[in-house]
Chains A and B, each alone.
Chain A
Amino acid sequence: AAGVIQSPRHLIKEKRETATLKCYPIPRHDTVYWYQQGPGQDPQFLISFYEKMQSDKGSIPDRFSAQQFSDYHSELNMSSLELGDSALYFCASSSTGGGNSYEQYFGPGTRLTVT
């Protein structure tokens, strides 16, 4: 079965640079979520989109922005990168139809290293 696809899988950037992470949800999933997981930490919710509109917002820095496109893929844009932004970034998707909208399916993650 198709899973959530994230690209790139690894990214190395320098401080103050910009990064763009991409997420392709499972086909027919209409909701996308972004999470950040630091070393030894649990995943922290950043932002989510339902039908291309922002549906919920968590602890996402103002330096970050995200959007969901007409094909349902999503991009997380991160500017003025800081050392503390080094983490695993997960995208998850879910479908609001069929009664399983609470189950989120996670991608393999993008490991961002800021030097």
Chain B
Amino acid sequence: SQKIEQNSEALNIQEGKTATLTCNYTNYSPAYLQWYRQDPGRGPVFLLLIRENEKEKRKERLKVTFDTTLKQSLFHITASQPADSATYLCALSYSSASKIIFGSGTRLSIRP
């Protein structure tokens, strides 16, 4: 079965720096790789989606890359702010209207 690993359980960085989170998966590549943000006790919030034939996607301070050869996605937050502190979930989906398989998440803390 598909296994998703996110680089670390927790990441602590200084405000203003770029946060880089890693997502690695086994087995076959998904059609779509997504990143969600989750705050404690709240539902995941969709951030970005990248397709298997795309290398990079940007949205404001966020950037996602997708390397199907390495079976890896990198998620970057530039000019990080304390408000970016949350758990970030990598998620895979294989077809339209199908389930999402989530990774275990990385808890990001941005210190002032």
Contacts and interface: CB of A to CB of B under 8 A. Distances in A.
A24 interface: no
Interface of A: 4, 31, 33, 41-45, 48, 50, 55-56, 58, 88, 90, 92, 94, 96, 101-109, 111
B81 to A, nearest CB: 23
Looking at chain B's contact residues, the main secondary structure is loop
Contact of A33 (B34, B41, B46, B99): B99
A31 B98 CA distance: 9
A94 B32 CA distance: 15
A42 B31 CA distance: 21
A32 to B, nearest CB: 10
A101 B102 contact: no
Contacts of B34: 102-103
